Chains A and B, each alone.
Chain A
Amino acid sequence: MTDEHLLAGLEQLMTSAGHGPLSLTVDRELTAGANRRTIRLIITPAGLDGGPYAAIAQLVERDDAREGTTRSVLDEAAVVSAARANGVPAVEVLAAGRLPAATPPPIEVLVTREVAGETIPRRVLRSVGAVEDGGRKLTRSCGRALARLHAIDPAAVSLAQEPLPVFTVARYLDHLTERLDDLPDPHPTFRFAINRLAHDLPSDPPKRSLIHGDFRNGNLIVDAADLAAALDWELVHIGDPMEDLAWICLRTWRFGSDSREVGGFGRLDDLRRAYADSGGRWRQDAFEWWTMARTAWWGIGLAAQAVAFVEGRSNSLVHAASGRRVVELEYDLLGLLAARVG
């Protein structure tokens, strides 16, 4: 698709979402993946409707033949808007839809207002460490944001394309086993962990909630040492709230700042208290179970990245290095399991 087509399509989309008349220009490309691009736009409203503002457009090639492998951005927009309406700091969706005059494959676009702040994990850690309050404010905001997200009734979110996947404990164990069985080399630590997790199931959640699925340092926009917005909602699903709380506390996402359990910036106690104060119900047994399950999942994921490199499906040095990071997750997992084996 040429840039003129792209701009015309985006302008039409923004106008039908009620933001027109306007003119827009591409400022620069932020990321370019196999079937996903992110670009920064400058939008100038016509007339006297305020000055120009920046927006982020995510463009996703939607291969209808592989329906279900990529979530529709329309559904992502619906979830983000529902979260925002319930007080979760999330980006403001300006427009979402298919580009009108696109030639195949169809391209879906999600346009959001740019939010100022830092997302790169180590810079986030530096920026919150610099102020007197450290990471406490950010930690409490994360607890509050997750409590508000988990309070949303998933049935009240109307989705255009397909229902959200439901993760139960049993289904998650099957998912882990399938991912492990797909790896060509044996990984007995992960097999052992799956056995122990199946042996030691957590309590049921009081109700099924909307789960962000990737709420962690790196996917949070942090401004003035506080949470400005949660990003990357493409893994959203329905499940146990403790999954989200466990994920943000995984050692992997502390980026070397290991003594601060919450994303490397905060204390677990502050997160727990903020979550409970905002109406969330903290279940320690499920928190521990999901911490182990998600550690295993990420370890298996790193091993899968290395397989992609070894088999020539990726030539990324990061993926090559992932193969030698698997052992870190195994170490964490065995540490977590230590108390549960006689």
Chain B
Amino acid sequence: MIDRPDAHRLLLAVAEALTDEVVPVLSASASASAPVQVADPEAAAARYTARIAANLCRIVAREAELWPQAEAATVADLRGLLGRDGGSLEELSRALDDELRTGAGDLDPGSVHRVLSAAVGRRLAIARPSYGDDLGGGHRS
């Protein structure tokens, strides 16, 4: 086992430091002079970068936690949809893309939609967990 804190904790600590310590300082200098037109554009740009960096750290932290199971579930779904016994996520995604492009597999659109929606839900849980809730949860089929 690697020394603690582990990768997950470290990434969250970096995200927190950026959000709580770096962004407020940059926000102060970005809006130091009241009219928007004369605010410091470099500070505003740096604040934007710091926010993105913090968000990316949180994404990577969630990925470490959630992706192994998510990947396995999507692989199982795709094997079922395409009627295959093996294949990696990349191979299966490419195979699905090819079948959709050529129309070869004569796949049922409802089944494709279900499998894609489940896969997207798992990726969204990593990339932006709140996104599905923002429309009141009634958005997905």
**Nearest CB to that of B100 among chain A residues?**
A191
B104 within 8 Å of A (CB atoms)? no
Contacts of B33 in A (CB 8 A): none
Give the Cβ gap from B6 to chain A, nearest Cβ, in Å. 22
Known contacts A334-B117, A338-B140, A196 near B109 by CB under 8 Å: yes
Is B101 positioned at the interface, with any CB of A under 8 Å from its CB? yes
CA A118 – CA B128 in complex, angstroms? 28
Instruction: Determine the residue in chain B with the shortest Cβ distance to A332.
Output: B139
Report yes or no: B52 in contact with A338, Cβ–Cβ below 8 A.
no
B132's closest neighbor in chain A, by CB?
A: A331
A251 to B131, CA, bound (A): 11
Q: How many residue pairs, one in A and one in B, have C-beta atoms under 8 Å apart?
A: 93
The main secondary structure of chain B at its interface with chain A is: helix
Closest to B111 in A: A341
**Do B124 and A328 touch across chains, with their CB atoms under 8 A apart?**
yes
Cβ-defined contact, B97 with A318, below 8 A: no
CB contacts under 8 Å to A, within B82-115, are: 90, 93-94, 96-98, 100-101, 103, 108-110, 112-113
Interface of A is mostly: helix
State whether B120 touches A331 (Cβ < 8 A).
Answer: yes
Min CB distance A126 to B, Å, is 11
- Contact A258 B135, CB 8 Å, known A192-B112, A317-B53, A320-B56: yes
Q: Judge whether A324 is part of the interface by a CB distance below 8 angstroms.
A: yes
- What chain B residues lie within 8 Å of A337 (beta carbons)? 113
Q: Using Cβ atoms and an 8 Å threshold, which residues of chain B touch A335?
A: 135, 139-141
Task: For the complex formed, measure the closest distance between the CB of B80 and the CB atoms of chain A, giving whole angstroms.
Answer: 15
CA A185 to CA B112, docked complex, whole Å: 19
A88 to chain B, nearest CB (A): 25
In the complex, chain B residues whose CB is within 8 Å of the CB of A5: none
Complex CA–CA separation, A136 to B139 (angstroms): 25
Cβ of A256 within 8 Å of any chain B Cβ, yes or no, is yes
A120 CA / B31 CA spacing, docked (Å): 14
A29 to chain B, nearest CB (A): 10
Inter-chain contact B141/A338, CB cutoff 8 Å: yes
A330 beta carbon closer than 8 Å to chain B: yes
Chain A neighbourhood of B100, CB < 8 A: 188, 191-192, 195
Q: List 21 A-B contacts (CB under 8 A).
A: A185-B90, A186-B93, A188-B93, A191-B101, A317-B52, A321-B56, A324-B59, A324-B127, A324-B128, A328-B124, A328-B127, A330-B120, A330-B123, A331-B131, A331-B139, A331-B140, A334-B117, A334-B141, A338-B113, A338-B141, A341-B109
